[in-house]
Structure 1
Amino acid sequence: MKTVKKVAILGGARIPFARQNTQYQDAGNVEMLTAVLDGVADRFGLRGEVLGEVAGGAVLKHSRDANISREATMASSLAPQTPAYDVQQACATSLETAIAVANKIALGQIESGIAGGVDSASDAPLAFSERLRKLILRFNRAKTRKARLQALLELRPAMLAPSVPNVNERRTGLSMGEHCELMVKDWKITREEQDVLALASHRNGVAAYERGFYDDLVVPFRGLSRDNNLRADSSLEKLGRLKPAFDRHSGLGTLTAGNSTPLTDGAAATLLSSEAWAQAHGIEPLAYFIDAESAAVDFYGPDAEGLLMAPAYAVPRLLARNGLSLQDFDYYEIHEAFAGQVLCTLAAWEDERFCREKLGLDAALGGIDRAKLNVNGGSVGLGHPFAATGARILAAAAKQLAEHRAKTGKRGRTLISMCAAGGLGVVAIVEG
């Protein structure tokens, strides 16, 4: 039997995240992912090097982009002999790619790999309407001129309207924000609580840039050197003046543009390897990828739960397998799809009834120290290109642990938690 190897996190690169239809409105997914692969290659001296693999992906993807990761790898300075493939798991995409790469390294199948993701909300794919698509297919299948003419005669102007992509859930027809409104009402999360967390997301992100935390993680791209959604002048007063974004009519809506993630363009990548590969390349690991867990909830059936509550189930299973409590962490990186979604998850872990009845535990998991949460900014402040956020979080978490070790002389531990569309959740433990 093969020995399981330790998986080192060596660092990462990302381009600044940009709000939809701003600096990157003309940049495509392949161009952005290529930029971060080159950022990793330049930082670690990997130009022309064959890596074990590149795993990436995108949520908003053109039909021509069957394998964005391979196209970006070929366009990058990495050796073209490096295998590459795409993964898609909504907002958890690049955490899932990291799990795939890490597992192969742990099993000795590869020695190194880059996990990443990219998304452009500005360059979203457009499609034919369903009626026009079927008509075109019937026209192409037609064997005679008469059959083709008959198909053309059925063409109507209304069919020419394009089908614009969205991220609404197919089973409910609701957007993620509408689902989160239901969650915060169920868990009685207030507007003020959400705005407080959103403000911390901006302030922590701004402070991280000011102290140089992102200097070696962010690669300037198309004239942008920092995330353009960050607001140094944000305040509770300004956030409090924003109107509800998803429940505009009941008078009870609490999710706003200020406490939700904006539609965002960007890409991120993280380099992982075995210890032997890192040593051979003269690279000191920042941290180690320890374990991961996934979960899913039924958000549609008779016992429907909140769409974004799956991490509440994944985390306790991960903790149990590793003999840890929720409080055994120095840092918590919880993806902020919405400030309210983070608060619902935290409330669930503190709720004894939920933990007993839903999680099968003897008691509540308990609370966390909020000062340890998203200490270098979260998705509300930094932005959220769907498939890129996992790699953004992983590289930043590893660097934060390296700084913690240098400052305290002690190793630290970070819990990563990500919700995703479809009622999914992916979580991981990083130590360094």
Structure 2
Amino acid sequence: MKQIQDAYIVAATRTPVAKRNGMFRSVRPDDMLAHVLRAVVDKVPGLDASEIGDVIVGCAMPEAEQGMNVARIGLLLAGLPDTVPGVTTNRFCASGVQAVADAANQIRLGQADVMIAAGTESMSVMPQIMGNKVSLNPAIFAKEENFGIAFGMGLTAEKVAEQWKVSREDQDAFALQSNQRACAAIAAGHFKDEITPYTVRTHVPGEGGTVRVIESLCDTDEGPRADAAIEKLAKLRPVFAARGSVTAGNSSQMSDGAGAVLLMSEAAVKRYGVTPIARFVSFSVAGVPPHIMGIGPIEAIPRALKAGGLTQSQLDWIELNEAFAAQSLAVMRQLDLDPAKVNPLGGAIALGHPLGATGAIRTATIMSAMQRDSSVKYGMVTMCIGTGMGAAGIFERV
């Protein structure tokens, strides 16, 4: 009987994250995916791509341009051998980190030596955040305890703000800090190593009926607001409730982006002579009431820590997805998370949240931090999930 073996992350990369209808407005999600898949494979010279056991891709809205098993399409567009399989997974906002966990588990169980986990999402190509066709089960409305399934995410944030007594002022201050940290990180070049620049090609009419191609190199996250100020944030009206506190300024941005993570077994690490960045430690998901879905990490984080045999104080870097300032603050206060360790380079309020890609993107951020700062031994990616869940994945620098 095989023993559980370790899974190591040997490379990770991502695109810059674009605003919805921003610099990636004409870029397909499968093309973004193909871009990061090529890039992450290229980070290991000499890698025999035919050895990749599977490509697992997170996508929260796997339909339209990002449907038809975007994982398989993306890997073929990337030029990977057609013998390499691909599967798309959906756990809404945790789809990307779920893909990392699933890929790691394939290695841990001895079913593969090389795996790729990724995520892609274009909120520009989707006609609305809920996809092309919303068709909720009428049974949802038959019982009050199920009403939260149909709540928009913003309304669940209002419920969390009310129950955990998170003030508008605190939400705006948190949003300002997110932007300030992100802008400072960009200025310091902290994202450079994790981003693979993307060239956007735009076709425009030229003279005499010709078509002119304009190329733009995108290498920097588009979302952070250098001009963010408390005064400006305070003037924004609530979006989801007339007397609420959740605004566009203290919520995550709708975004486009992709990320990819290459994992190997110890045998593959030795065979290819690569130096791993981190060991996959543990992963956990947990359910919470749908109407307060934002508190999901409160349940998921302790489970992931227990599974990894760790204490919370051992975490050095926490990527807590900022779906909303309200839920982020509620989670941080309930678990007594150290604010200095949470999103040191800013979070989704500033950097954006391309749904199913975010987990893979933020995994790349932690890998970059571990390579840059030897004091970061344990890092965690965690987020809340629509319909009432939370997820948390933990990594150890090696």
Name the TM-score, length of structure 2 as normaliser: 0.86
Structure 2: runs of 5+ lacking an equivalent: 141-145, 201-215
Q: Which moved more, 1:306-315 or 1:58-67?
A: 58-67
Provide, for residues 135-194 of structure 1, a one-character-per-residue CA deviation record: whole Å limited to 9, x for no partner: xxxxxxxxxxxxxxxxxxxxxxxxxxxx95579997533210111111101110011211
CA distance in 2, matches of 1:423, 1:75: 35
* DSSP-derived class of the 1:117 partner: strand
Kept in 2, the 8 Å contact 1:417–1:426? The answer is yes
Does the 8 Å contact 1:56/1:97 carry over to 2?
Answer: yes
Identity of aligned residues (%): 32
Secondary structure of the residue aligned to 2:370 is helix
Give the corresponding residue for 2:287: 296
CA spacing shift, 1:42–1:168, aligned 2, 3 Å: farther
Match of 2:61 in 1: 60
User: Which residue number in structure 2 is paired with residue 376 of structure 1?
Assistant: 345
| Residue of structure 1 equivalent to 2:393 | 428
Give the TM-score taking structure 1 as reference length.
0.80
Q: For the pair shown, which has the larger CA radius of gyration, 1 or 2?
A: 1
SS in 2 for 1:179: helix
The residue that corresponds to 1:388 in the other structure is 357
AA aligned to 2:106 is K
**Residue 237 (1) aligns with residue 202 (2):** no
Alignment of 1:315-326 (within 5 A): 315-326=301-312
Residue from 372, 375, 384 that aligns with 1:403? 372
Find the aligned partners of 2:77 and 2:309 in 1 and give their Cα distance: 44
**Other-structure match for 1:268:** 259
Q: Residue 204 of structure 1: CA displacement? A: 2.0
1:45-56 paired onto structure 2 within 5 Å: 45=45, 49-50=49-50, 51-56=52-57
Q: How far apart are residue 196 of structure 1 and its match?
A: 2.0
- Name the one with the larger strand percent: 2
What does 1:271-286 correspond to in 2, within 5 Å? Answer: 271-286=262-277
In the alignment, which residue of structure 2 is the partner of 1:31?
31
Native 8 Å contact 1:125 1:165 kept in 2: no
Give the whole-Å Cα distance in 2 for the aligned partners of 1:320 and 1:190: 32
Correspondence for 2:103? 101
Determine which of 170, 190, 193 is the counterpart of 2:170.
193
Match of 1:152 in 2: none
Paired residues of 2:47 and 2:272 also in contact (CA < 8 A): no
Aligned to 1:92: 94
| Corresponding residue number in structure 2 for 1:69 | 71
Q: CA deviation at 1:319?
A: 2.5
Which residue of the partner structure matches residue 255 of structure 1? 246
Equivalent in the alignment of 1:225: 219
Q: Distance in 2 between matches of 1:381 and 1:394?
A: 17
1:301-340 to structure 2, matched below 5 A, reads: 306-340=292-326
Q: C-alpha distance in 1, partners of 2:11/2:135? A: 31
Provide the aligned C-alpha RMSD in A.
2.2
- Alignment map for 1:137-176 (pairs within 5 Å): 164-165=132-133, 171-172=146-147, 173-176=150-153
Contact 1:48–1:78 under 8 Å retained in 2: no
Distance 1:167 1:42 in 2: 42
1:390 Cα deviation from its structure 2 partner: 0.2
1:122 maps to which residue? 124
- Partner Cα separation in structure 1 for residue 330 and residue 3 of structure 2: 40
Unaligned runs of 5+ in 1: 127-162, 300-304, 350-366
Number of aligned residue pairs: give it.
367
